[in-house]
Amino acid sequence: MPTKTFCSKLLLAAICLTLIAILAKNVLPKRSLMLVPTSSPDTNYFLLDPEHPNARWVDRDRFHFHCKFNESESNMPCNLVYMLSLDSINGTDLSSFDYFNLDIKYTGNAKKLRIAFRHYDSRFSKVSDTNSTKFNVINVRTKDLTKPLRINLNELTVADWWLGEYDLPRDQTHPDISNAVTLAVDFEGDLRATEHDVQINKIEFTGDWVSTENWYLAILLAWLAFGAGFTIIRLIKLHQTEAQQRTKISDLVATNSKLRTETDKFRKLSTVDALTNAFNRHGIEQIIASLEIRLDATSIIMVDIDHFKRINDRRGHDIGDRVLQQISAAILKSTRSTDKLGRWGGEEFILICPNTSVGMAMALAEKLRIVIFDTVFETDNPIAVTASFGVAAVLPNEPFASAFKRADEALYNAKALGRNCVIVAEQDNPL
């Protein structure tokens, strides 16, 4: 009994320490890298304008510069370049940071300000060719610069012009700032006959000292070590009954796993259409019930296969079933994981789209219409298949049944207008 009490207290202590560790992750201080303001030598940053004097410093110590473009100078460079390393090959690893804080005061006509990171990679970068360093960019709307911004580094993309110029394998085209050599700030858009005044007050990179993944991995490893130790203690005291207990546990685990498998199987059978792998009506009704409290952010798309009875009559129900399967697969492939597809009737489908405006739903329906139109059904003996679509958005405080009726009426109108088209409910404004 004393041993059992000790083990219980030890387990309780481990649980408490785990909870403290989980909570501590959010309050631990962050590590940071301050670029602006900086005490680094002046050679660490400069204005790039090799051919034309359209750039000047207003106050270099405060990262304040001015650019002026004439009518014929839209492509002239005018950007601030910050050297992350005086070595053009061995740069700074920024990939371990999560985001950077940006505080820029801007006056001018540009709609977007571009933040660009040059990344050196020996696989494709050359010292003699500056452009061969990977061009990772984030575009920021200038109207958003009225207050400091926090920009996640996962928003970075590789510039299209760079990808087009350098033919790289797919595994080398993703954003990468693990060896960043420069950071540049310039402008996007037509810059002819414009002036721009930029003062960079702050660029600070921030991230965790220990990544979230490694933090929780450490907790997991600690629990594994604790479990191993706990098991050893128990085995020392209970070695005589070890085999018996292990057998019981194994049987319970196997039984539980079997029950879970069977439960999952029956749960799926009760909510999923076996033919199309879409939700059945019962499954869709469950989804609708879960969305009832936020239906004002939901749109509905009704889909009906045109002349489906003709396919069944002329080619047989087996072919008709395969058409249903292909259409369901095409829709699932072309929609988000949050969009829920259900088979509402024989050849009728319903698509529930949370957080989707009626305009977005109309665009999605048109996309699906084209996908179905372009799909080749029965390659040996092709069938031309089209579908009609009815779209409606759930209006504020509107019951789902009312929105569904409007979507169904829109679908009926699409069929009446010749099929193979998208119709939005009259009460909705796609704009």
- Please list the active-site residues: 347
Question: 54-88 in b/e burial notation, b at 16+ Cβ within 10 A?
Answer: bbeeeeeeebbbbbbbeeebeebbbbbbbbbeeee
Cis peptide before 37 (omega within 30 of 0): yes
Read off φ and ψ for residue 255, nearest 5 degrees: -65, -45
CB 99 within 8 A of CB 153: yes
Going by C-alpha positions, the residue among 340, 375, 372, 357 that lies closest to residue 424 is 357
Distance CA(393)–CA(27), nearest Å, equals 42
Going by C-alpha positions, the residue among 360, 359, 361 that lies closest to residue 351 is 361
Which helix (H) or strand (E) is 36 found in, with range? Answer: strand 31-36
Instruction: Write the DSSP assignment of 276-301 as a string of letters.
Output: TSSB-HHHHHHHHHHHGGGGGGEEEE
Kindly report each contact of residues 378-381 with a partner whose C-beta sits within 8 Å and lies 24 or more positions away, as own/partner. Answer: 378/315, 378/319, 378/322, 378/323, 381/315
CB 76 within 8 A of CB 172: no
Instruction: Write the DSSP assignment of 133-172 as a string of letters.
Output: SEEEEEEEEGGGTTS-EEEEGGG-EE-HHHHHHS---GGG
CA distances from 147 to 105, 109, 142, 150, 168 (A): 8, 18, 10, 10, 38
CA distances from 352 to 151, 277, 335, 339 (A): 32, 15, 11, 6
Distance CA(207)–CA(210), nearest Å, equals 8
